[in-house]
Amino acid sequence: MYYDLKNESTTTNSTSSISLSFGSVSITSEQIVIGIIVELFALIPSLLLVQLFRRLRSRQQQISPLRQALYKIKSSFSEKDIDENKNKHKSGLTLAWWWIFIAYGLCIILVGVSILFIIARGIEFGDSKTQKWLISIISGLFSSIRLTQPLKILCLAIFFAFFCRNSNDDKEANEYLDDNQVNLDNDEEYLHSRKNNRLFTYRPPIRANRLNEAEVMCARDRRLKEIQMWSIIRETLLYICFLSLLYTVIFSNCQSNSYSQVKHLQNYLLNSRQMDDDYTKISTINQYWNWLENSFISNIRAQQWYNGDAPRNLSGYINDKSSRLIGWVTMRQLRIKSDLCPVHVNEIISTCRYDYSFSNEDKNSYKPGWVVNETIQTYSSSINQSFIYSTSKDLDTYIYAGNHGTYGSGGYVYEFRGRLVDLQSNLSQLHALGWIDNQTRAVIIQLSLYNPNVQLFTSVSLLVEFLSTGAIYSSASFEPMNFDEIRLLLELKGNYFRRYWSYIDVGIIACSWTIIGVYIWRFNECKRIGKLFNETNGYVYINLQLASYINNILIYLFGFCCFFGTIKFV
């Protein structure tokens, strides 16, 4: 009933709701609130049914068979005493035994009406809406178990404790069994003589059976094992609750659309479906230039639609028409110095070129064509800038780790700014000027994307490594964004760190506190990027490399928390 009303209200009044997604199942805050409201409505009828069953009397008043035999043997026990004994524990408000049929009838009617409403509303909703409705019912059930029912029990316990202080004894059982025991226990004896007003006037002396030392030790060991077992069970249940909360926090941080976004960009930018311009199969410099000029450059600008219409209102979007560039694309090159070879090979080869390292990185500025002197021919500012070394402070870039080396944060940068025709012309000139030569050791293409459909930022890094042996390796990275231990430490002191599980607990605590700090760091970085994006409307270069690093650190810490928690549980 309330599910449909909730959907009608959301269609008329569009408000965003917080939801928790587990794969294809999504639980919203409205579904939980609806479940709680339904439980509150069902509270009074359920209490009435419970009281109806509790206050039913037995069909026949029964007396203990042992006491009946004693009444027959002991003739001195008068009928008046028997009646007083029967009426001693009579309850105040009870119902006749035949009310049980009315109680079961009400239960059957309520269940039947509920089933009828479920079938009717299910037919009215349809298939897809019914599935969402069932999810709402399940979430309401879990909210009832975890929230409503404990609160109901707590409130009723407080109410009865303050206002209804009755005995907790079972009145009907007392009428059947009676509180007056026939015989005394082994550790009891009569203090006064009895004047023939009881069932027994004589009790033979009975010596208490004492346990020997072995039996006492056995009973003590058994009790200690029971205490230890219950302690283990309690600790296991509490740790399961802790892991449940930990997994919920960790997996709710993951975006459900991240995989689809990364898969789409891999197929789109790497062009792995074509044999000629496949980024993953680049093995020569000419193949790399061919991929840049024929595939990559056309993908980073929105082209015409399939029917020839112009891409209106898609300024800044790439050619998939769904992801928008934040700023522009940059292509950064890292080079090495040209050093003289050792003396023993100087006669064969005069110049040696080694693999990349921070010590032999070339940081000099050149003119177009990697020459030192001025050239007669004039070039555009972007071409001239691509032969001038820029520092990490100028570029807002960071150290990048590849498969065959770790590369610095500076370099020679070409910015893909301007119209598509100008970009194609500039790439042709860079190719002709030999911008990538035998001193090049890495070319890193970096771009930042935002997909408004799934509200995901993605940092894309395309790295091509040029080894001194002549081999070329390509790689791509797509990064979507969106106190018991202290007590033990004081008690055990140095022995605390001799316990194996202490390191697991310390790991969980350290990762948890570090996650809080990294999460605040990521929040501030995203806030800075969002502020810059709002000020420039996305028309300035914004590097998401630092944001992707922070996000990766957060994911790694989440993984370590899951790892340590699972290891301790196992």
For the chain, the structural domain boundaries read 2-181, 213-253, 258-304+315-480, 484-569
Antiparallel, parallel or unpaired: β 440-451 and 324-325:
antiparallel
Antiparallel, parallel or unpaired: β 406-407 and 400-401:
antiparallel
- Model confidence at 443: pLDDT above 90: yes
- Model confidence at 3: pLDDT above 60: no
pLDDT tier at 411, thresholds 50, 70, 90: very high
For residue 7, report the phi and psi dihedrals to the nearest 5 degrees.
Answer: -65, -40
Which segment of 128-132, 157-161, 260-264 scores lowest on mean pLDDT? 128-132
pLDDT tens-digit readout, 295-307: 888 888 888 888 8
pLDDT at res. 179: 45
pLDDT tens-digit readout, 65-89: 666 666 566 555 445 555 555 555 4
Q: How many beta carbons lie within 10 A of that of residue 236, not counting itself?
A: 11
Mean pLDDT of the chain: 75
Nearest residue to 496 via CA among 508, 478, 510, 484: 484
Question: In 3-state terms, what secondary structure has residue 60?
Answer: coil
Percent of the chain at pLDDT above 90? 9
Question: In 3-state terms, what secondary structure has residue 191?
Answer: coil
- Token readout for 546 is 């630092």
Question: In 3-state terms, what secondary structure has residue 448?
Answer: strand
pLDDT tens-digit readout, 171-230: 555 544 444 455 555 555 555 544 445 554 555 555 556 778 888 899 899 999 999 998
- Token readout for 485 is 């231990």
Residues whose CB falls within 8 Å of the CB of residue 458, separated by 6 or more in sequence, listed in order: 261, 262, 265, 323, 448, 449, 450, 451, 478, 479, 480, 481, 544
Give the global pTM: 0.51
Sign of the Cα torsion 61, 66, 70, 73 reads positive
Strand partners, 330: 415, 446
CA dihedral 450, 454, 459, 463 (to 10 degrees): -110
Q: Confirm if 386 and 412 have CB atoms less than 8 A apart.
A: yes
Which segment of 92-106, 392-406, 467-481, 536-550 scores lowest on mean pLDDT? 536-550
Residues whose CB falls within 8 Å of the CB of residue 144, separated by 6 or more in sequence, listed in order: 35, 36, 39
pLDDT at res. 98: 86
pLDDT tens-digit readout, 511-561: 777 877 787 887 777 778 777 777 777 677 777 777 777 778 878 887 777
Using CA atoms, how far apart are residues 108 and 104, in angstroms rounded to an integer?
6
pLDDT at res. 496: 54
pLDDT tens-digit readout, 136-147: 677 667 767 777
Sign of the Cα torsion 96, 98, 104, 107 reads negative
Antiparallel, parallel or unpaired: β 472-480 and 456-466:
antiparallel
Q: Confirm if 181 and 203 have CB atoms less than 8 A apart.
A: no
pLDDT tens-digit readout, 14-71: 444 555 555 555 566 666 666 667 767 777 788 788 888 888 877 765 556 666 666 5
pLDDT at res. 491: 58
